[in-house]
Chain A
Amino acid sequence: MSFFSNVLFGSVKESDDPTGLSGNTPMAEATNEPIVEGVFYPRTLYRFNGHDDEKIFIAVLGKVYDCTAGRSFYGPSGPYSNFAGRDASRGLGLNSFDMECVRDWDQPIDDLSDLPPQAVDAAREWQDYFAKKYPCIGTLEPEAGVNY
């Protein structure tokens, strides 16, 4: 009835309030808020694997990068999908995509102490590559009671 009543009574259709000033913000939008840059734990990082959340974050040598733009590589079904939402340092250093090279979120953070120097250097080179290509959005740190 709204359109005809609007014409008859000289009123118009109001859009939703996009500003939130009226206090009526659509619920769907609340989940689409950007993530605040800062400290990530393996547990909080894991969600951003391109599957549970469309954003894809990858940690390399303690720095977290937003690799959402590289979804075709790191997203679900991509060749590097194992790295999404995880610490990829070991995998990149050893040039391996095996699941053994990435740790689950409830395990201690990989300190790479058992890797040969060449592999650590390779991981550093990958970090430089990520830093040039993707925005750094924070650091990866161990969570008390979970990772140590």
Chain B
Amino acid sequence: MSLKSWCELIITIFLLVWGANFLFTKAILENKRDLSVMALNEQSNKTSVRKKNETALYRNFLVPIGFPLTTGLGLSLGYKIRNGNFMDVWKAIMDVTVEKNNFISFNNNKRYTLSLINGAANHLIKEVYEKFDVNEVGVNISVSSFEGFVISVASMIYSIRNKNGKGLLHYLTTVPRQRLSNVDILVIDSWQAFRMLNKSEDWYKLIIVCDDTESVLKPKNTELLKNVKTWNEIIAGSTEDSRFEYDPPTDNSDELKLLLNITTSSNETTSFNQLNLVSSISAFIKTFPLNNELSSNDVITEICDPFSLTKNNLQIWPKVLSVLLLGGSAQFLLDKDVELDALNDTTLLVVNPKALGNLSKTIKEKLASSSKFDTIKQSLSTTLLSEGIMNKISKLDVPQLQKIRSIYLIEELTNESHILSFDGKIPKRTKGQINGKFTSTKLNYYRALFGCRLVVELFCPYIIMGPISQTNFYDYRIFPKVVDANVTCVGSMTTALEGKIVSTEMNPDLEIEDRQGMLCVRGFTIGRPVTEKRLENALTLSNSIAGGEGWIPLVGVFGLWGQDGCLYIYN
């Protein structure tokens, strides 16, 4: 062949390959994307104006500026719309469970029907709440246990039914070391926890010990046990009951009642009301896009950290109640003993970064395969994901994981003590604002591994019910390395909250013109400080830093708004 022919051949091959690539990327990839690039770049609505030392106000793209945020369930009461409360939710759950026969599996790996849970809660109301004059029930056990769930439901029902709001649920992250004046009944985990009461037994009208298997630790002195009952003693005789009646009052007074209080280990108490709960449920249901809605086929599995069980009590409710509301089921597993068979029916998996890492490690160990073909499949899968195309090319061949459709990765803010104290001291930005984060490349690795969506949610454990923000269901972007090295994308605000970033004197390196600074939030899922002093401090802080008007500064949480409308928290 002559030189001219060689040149023609090379040019022809080049044009063919270039043309094929052009057609492939423009015609096929463009049409296969779950979400267009334009939509990914416009994930929030923002105001057109801002104050001098603040950014614009950002909202989820589902809530336009000028429209109300998500407030409750939007139930009808005659011609009026009302937000609803726990009783409405529980009634709907009990109505649907008759047909769907859904269940909750607790961290003891046993399945309980909703009728059994409802029956146990009703029994508890009769045996405890109606016999004792209970102001508040201090619960120092996890909601991921049968006992914790039942007693929470019983308290939530009784405190609404009681005209004076008695029997209020009060989550305690530790056994109280100081007397909480309103707590009349204390629910603790075991005899070991009972020993930690250390002469404070007399503070309570009744102490309920849930796990009495370690009877060796049970005190021999009967004087100490005069106001103590075990869970089995109290629950004996309870039966299944699928009936639950509730007629909302016409004046909506039930919606204004408190839902629960939660006290941290540093003795700071925050209260949450019915609106917080129903807004959070509603916001979660709204996150599911068309054709991927929650349904009765869903089973939500929460993998709980065994070392912070009581810490998560507040955050468990919105997701679990949302799934139960639609006839789905729920289960709780402890991170230390997750077996793959337990995930058999799971469609929605809620995990923290550590648990996700452990789970993928367990699976990889069981499927120790690293053939060249697997590597190519993994590469093709992650490349397609980075183009915005969900695929299951390299999904692990694990039968137990076949039903999973979405993973919720829980990212918790670490500086909660700053946020909760409302002491007005703004710290300098430090590293490690989020517990165990992943880069965008790692997130796509997990999406490819599990063959499902992965949503990152940002939580502020004790002050906001449900997430602050979450990434889009269809967002699989890989960010430049400099972005992953400096910040973590936590998506746009939930539909029940709106956010803005303010500049602070302590952090002059964060430029408000570049949308950098300290995060402030406003909306319907934020709790209220209980003591007068903290409430006053919170108002003062809100006025001095965030301009008042209901804004709560998340002190010490520094981040920036991306041009895409997403919130990025500094690593």
Contact = CB atoms under 8 A, between A and B. Distances in A.
A4 B50 contact: no
B232 interface: no
Query: Most B CB atoms within 10 A — which of A14, A22, A35, A37?
Result: A14
B480 A22 contact: yes
Contacts of A81: none
A116 interface: no
Interface string B40-66: 110000111111100110000000011
B560 interface: yes
Contact of A29 (B50, B55, B563): B563
B174 interface: no
B18 A7 contact: no
A18 to B, nearest CB: 3
Contacts of B387: 3, 13
B69 to A, nearest CB: 15
Interface residues of B, number: 45
A22 B478 CA distance: 14
26 contacts: A2-B21, A3-B25, A3-B383, A3-B387, A6-B379, A6-B383, A7-B379, A10-B375, A10-B379, A12-B385, A15-B477, A15-B480, A17-B483, A19-B479, A19-B483, A19-B486, A19-B562, A22-B483, A25-B563, A34-B47, A34-B48, A34-B55, A36-B49, A55-B49, A66-B48, A69-B65
Contacts of B24: 3
Contacts of B386: 6, 12-15
Interface of A: 1-4, 6-8, 10-22, 25-26, 29, 34-38, 55, 66, 68-69, 135, 137
Contacts of A2: 21, 25
Contacts of B65: 69
Interface string B453-485: 000000000000000000000000111101100
Interface in B520-571: 560, 562-564, 566, 568
Nearest to B568: A19
Q: Which 5 residue pairs spanning A and B have beta carbons closest together?
A: A18-B562, A12-B386, A34-B56, A15-B477, A18-B564
Interface string B215-247: 000000000000000000000000000000000
Interface of B: 17-18, 21, 24-25, 29, 40-41, 46-52, 55-56, 65-66, 375-376, 379-380, 382-383, 385-387, 441, 444, 477-480, 482-483, 486-487, 514, 560, 562-564, 566, 568
A2 B479 CA distance: 16
Contacts of A22: 480, 482-483
Given A3-B21, A12-B386, A17 B479 contact: yes
A1 B17 contact: yes
B64 to A, nearest CB: 9
Contacts of B568: 18-19
A93 to B, nearest CB: 25
Contacts of A11: 383
A140 to B, nearest CB: 14
A13 B51 contact: no
Contacts of A3: 21, 24-25, 29, 383, 387
Contact of A26 (B48, B383, B482, B563): B563
B21 A1 contact: yes
B514 A20 contact: yes
A17 B482 CA distance: 9
B50 A12 contact: no
Contacts of B48: 34-35, 55, 66, 68
Query: Most B CB atoms within 10 A — which of A10, A15, A36, A55?
Result: A15
A11 B29 CA distance: 17
Contacts of A37: 49-52
Contacts of A135: 47, 49
Query: Most B CB atoms within 10 A — which of A4, A15, A18?
Result: A18
A26 B380 CA distance: 28
Contacts of B47: 34, 66, 135
B21 A69 contact: no
B217 to A, nearest CB: 53
Nearest to A55: B48
Nearest to A6: B383
A34 B563 contact: no
A2 B566 CA distance: 27
B380 A7 contact: yes
Contact of A13 (B49, B383, B486, B514): B383
A14 B52 contact: no
